[in-house]
Amino acid sequence: MIIALKSTVSEEKANDLGQQIKAIVVKDGNAFCLVTSSKVKEISGDFSSYIERTTVLDSDIQLASRDYKAETRTVDLGNGRIIGGNTGNTVMIAGPCSVEDVAQIDQTAVLLNELNIGVMRGGCYKPRTSPYSFQGMGIEGLKLLADARTAHGFSIITEVKDATHVADVIKYTDIIQIGAKAMYDHGILRACGAARKPVMIKRGFGTTLQEFVQAAEFVLSGGNTDVILCERGIRTFETKTRFTLDLCGVAFLKQYTNLPVILDPSHAMGYRYGIADLTRACTAMGVDGLIIEVHPVPEVAKSDAAQQLNHEEFRELYGSLGAVANSVGRTII
């Protein structure tokens, strides 16, 4: 249940009302709201003089529900990129799986500048399946990304692996990525809820849509309204691709949630031969953004070499997306 308070209600009064009914107090826009479990259908006491409206919901998808806020939320990614809302934009995010060295980031920056792409991705803390695999450059990688932002004006996004370095990622990046393996880490979710930077949450590969959006609710209920959902494939019985991209799930997220939706064809497919076609299919769904892994020389990449496009492959893919986006009333930026 969400009780939206009138804009005239002070923070002190909102907290007092929240204590009375054991609700979480959230500032959403210019006013406060009280959020209880969806099991609560009515409240005791006379709050009528403070209430703007009340939304009773069937599940704990609440702040992210279109029943509460019908329009898709807008999120400012910086560098002139606005995602969500009625902008009609499909924002491209591109870059290597892992930050590896200065030359790699400089070459990627040249490519993104050439194509007028404003958001660069790159992993610094890598949640690898094997402890013997490359684990990322850590803080040095964050500094390389920050240097690229200073030199080229990009917004940068990188992943939080665990709570030990969440403060560093919040400090250095413009957009915080919560990866599929960290989606259930409440320490990370609550830290990102307290942050005032955009947060992109990737769906866990064994996660239901309900669980996925409820992870976003942790961030939203912490007061951070700049939340983006990313579908990156789920684990099914199929073994010929890395994961199975759940486009049915994307249709659900678009229909029932008010959060911008980004798709990650790179992790879903797992092999570069299919990424271009899968990306075009994602674009045709009218999604809010795409995130693609790109490397100057994928064959020598220290992580996920098989799924990263080289620069020429990415140029060819990017050049094909405009017509697909236009066919569904959107623009690639």
Which candidate, 69, 119, 120, places its Cα nearest to that of 99?
Answer: 120
Q: Alpha-carbon distance 332 to 322, whole Å?
A: 6
DSSP at 196: -
- Residues 52-64 have pLDDT tens digits of 999 999 999 999 9
pLDDT at residue 130, as a whole number: 87
- Residues 73-126 have pLDDT tens digits of 999 999 899 999 999 999 999 999 999 999 999 999 999 999 999 999 999 998
- Coil/strand/helix, residue 20: helix
Which candidate, 62, 70, 150, 169, places its Cα nearest to that of 109?
Answer: 150
- Residues 263-286 have pLDDT tens digits of 999 999 999 999 999 999 999 999
pLDDT band at residue 185 using 50, 70 and 90 as cut-offs:
very high
pLDDT at residue 95, as a whole number: 98
Residue ranges in the chain assigned as alpha helix (H): 11-21, 102-115, 139-152, 166-172, 186-194, 209-221, 247-256, 265-269, 275-284, 311-327
- The answer to whether residue 46 scores a pLDDT higher than 90 is no
Phi and psi torsions of 312, nearest 5°:
-70, -40
Per CATH, which fold does 74-332 belong to?
TIM Barrel (3.20.20)
198's CB contacts (< 8 A; 6+ apart) are 75, 76, 77, 174, 175, 176, 226, 227, 228
CA 275 to chain centroid: 20
In our burial notation (b when 16+ CB lie closer than 10 A, e otherwise), range 2-29 reads bbbbeeebeeeebeebbeeeebbbbebe
Q: Alpha-carbon distance 301 to 112, whole Å?
A: 19
Q: Are 169 and 160 in contact (CB under 8 A)?
A: yes
Average pLDDT in the 173-191 region? 95
- Residues 162-178 have pLDDT tens digits of 888 899 999 999 999 99
- Coil/strand/helix, residue 90: strand
Q: Are 177 and 293 in contact (CB under 8 A)?
A: no
DSSP at 203: P
The structural domains of the chain, with segments of one domain joined by +, span 2-55, 74-332
For the chain, give the mean pLDDT.
95
pLDDT at residue 142, as a whole number: 96
Confirm whether pTM is higher than 0.75.
yes
Q: If residue 331 lies in a helix (H) or strand (E), which one and from where to where?
A: strand 331-332
pLDDT at residue 43, as a whole number: 87
pLDDT at residue 307, as a whole number: 97
Which candidate, 234, 251, 242, 238, places its Cα nearest to that of 285?
Answer: 251
pLDDT at residue 162, as a whole number: 86
Six-digit token string for 57? 């919901």
pLDDT at residue 126, as a whole number: 87
**Could you give the percent of the chain with pLDDT greater than 90?**
92
Q: Are 107 and 149 in contact (CB under 8 A)?
A: no
pLDDT band at residue 132 using 50, 70 and 90 as cut-offs:
confident
